[in-house]
Amino acid sequence: MGDGESAKGVERECKPGQAPRCPSVSPSAQPGTHPGQSQLFADLSREELTAVMSFLTRQLGPGLVDAAQARPSDNCVFSVELHLPPKAAALAHLDRGSPPPAREALAIVFFGGQPQPNVSELVVGPLPRPSYLRDVTVERHGGPLPYHRRPVLRREYLDIDQLIFGRELPQAAGLLHHCCFYKRSGQNLVTVTTAPRGLQSGDRAAWFGLYYNISGAGFFLHPVGLELLVDHKALDPARWAIQKVFFQGRYYESLAQLEDQFEAGLVNVVLIPDNGTGGSWSLKSQGPPGPAPPLQVHPQGPRFSVQGSRVTSSLWTFSFGLGAFSGPRIFDIRFRGERLAYEISLQEALAVYGGNSPAAMLTRYIDGSFGLGKYSTPLTRGVDCPYLATYVDWHFLLESHTPKTTRDAICVFEQNQGLPLRRHHSNFYSHYFGGLAETVLVVRSVSTLLNYDYLWDMVFHSSGAIEVRLHITGYISSAFLFGAARRYGNQVGEQTLGTVHTHSAHFKVDLDVGGLENWVWAEDMTYVPTPVPWSPKHQMQRLQVTRKLLETEEQATFPLGGAPPPLRVPGQQSQQQVGSPAGLPHPAAQLCWGATAAEQLLGESLQLGEVSGGVFSLAN
């Protein structure tokens, strides 16, 4: 059976000697209707992106360069995406029938050609025919954005590779021929970037590790032991330089110095075999295919529908989208017609590494700076999502003058969990069984950031619960194994260390339970020593509920590594006059989350000032 759409689930009487009879209940095949305002939160279409780019080209003048070819000293449009409407205006439209807020785009522009190079954020509207442009940089960030903070363009990465392979590596050709089967053009090697790009504000220098270019089989597992610190802050790539060299456990001032010491016999070189394209690290199956796996089907057709960015079923309605940098997000989430949340969205993902090579020990990836939506990937039917899922394309304008499309970037599907939502079988006093199958509605996207693939799920349960899930797969990151490397991970190859690391994902949850006026109660359990009422000379540990109203944002903020209690968020219609949530009628929301033992360590690392918002399990 299905979910709450099949009103009573399964109930039957059990009589000795008789087979049970199960009534046939037909679930509703009508997924519901879409409201007229369903596209309020829709990502920009190709036509809208094209219109914005044309408008910016006219407004910003002939000096604008296509970001795909732009050098640091050029002006270019880095990205264009939806500028989310103000919440008050959106709710006035959704709930009170006011005119919809103007549809707008947010453009990030690199002004490298100005006397004071900077990064600016510009709002363009109204769409689909823009007529105004508004600079919101100071409004959003409190001041101008320094140019050195800009994300790295693909063109900049190509110029860094040209510096490394064209100008620098030939200076150590003898050593590289000896250790790493070096070819003059470096075609058998690739570089992998790290972050952050420096040790203090104003820096723009990053360590790049070199790996064998194992085609189609995960080069991340094949470091050769060479890492280069590249200073690429100057606007002229000709002024970029290698600041430091690390090779197989030792530091050098330059590749020329490394080559000189190698020729003098002062470098102990570990030969790293180039293993080509085969091996167990390949994702290709090593054996014949087995029997086909099981599939889920829709006996009476799908019980939900997708129209543009709006999903509708008989239980749930919501809008979905992808932020170019922040990733998946959902808006106006309603259960049985009642709004539970205005927004639930991914905001950031972090990965912190450790090691004894410079790249491994320094790396703290802030994945939003690369782009959790930008690096979303096409979803493969039957692997990433069920065959019968609904697949949605995503249009974007990033590092280009023209829009592009990621096919099947988002999938929506309903799934039987293989567990009952509730069930009971009674053999006491009376004999009966009742149960209800648990099905969920899922919105999924996948972001591939370098070696890792992040599977993001927004899960809508038939009980009214909303769950966010992250599943991480792909390849591990690795470094050259030397010295005390095993303190920082596990040996995964003859000279390869799988580096220790931890991940953290940060979500925004804007609950509107029964209205906009919500508050938070912390609910927990504790044991209280209590005399036994009928035998006072004995004591017992009695379990009871503790409740505390969290009156300030500081009280409702919990550092990483702690154990935040479950939080209850009553709606404004459910508060009792005595100020206690006990016995509250719905609507109310319960917040629960999973945690890892690495959270406290992550918090300690991030407290160094790299990501101030990353040190809390929950912040308001």
Instruction: Determine the 3-state secondary structure of 42 from DSSP.
Output: coil
* Of 301, 230, 256, nearest in space to 28 by CA: 301
CB neighbour list of residue 191: distance below 8 Å, 6 or more residues apart = 160, 161, 164, 208, 209, 210, 211
DSSP 459-516: EEETTS-EEEEEEEEE---EEE--TTGGGGEEEEETTEEEE-EEEEEEEEEEE-SSSS
Helices vs strands, H then E, count in the chain: 9, 32
Can you give the three-state secondary structure of 75-138, one letter per residue?
EEEEEEEEECCCHHHHHHHHHHCCCCCCCEEEEEEEECCCCCCEEEEEEEECCCCCCEEEECHH
Q: Coil, strand or helix: which one is 206?
A: strand
By CB atoms closer than 10 A (0-12, 13-18, 19+), residue 577 is: exposed
- Catalytic machinery residues: 367, 452
Written as six digits, the tokens of 74 are: 């050029």
- Rounded CA gap, 33 and 252, in Å? 67
Contact call for residues 343 and 330 (beta carbons, < 8 A): yes
Among 371, 366, 316, 369, CA closest to 344:
316
How many Å apart are CA 110 and CA 89, to the nearest integer?
30
Q: Tell me 46's DSSP state.
A: H
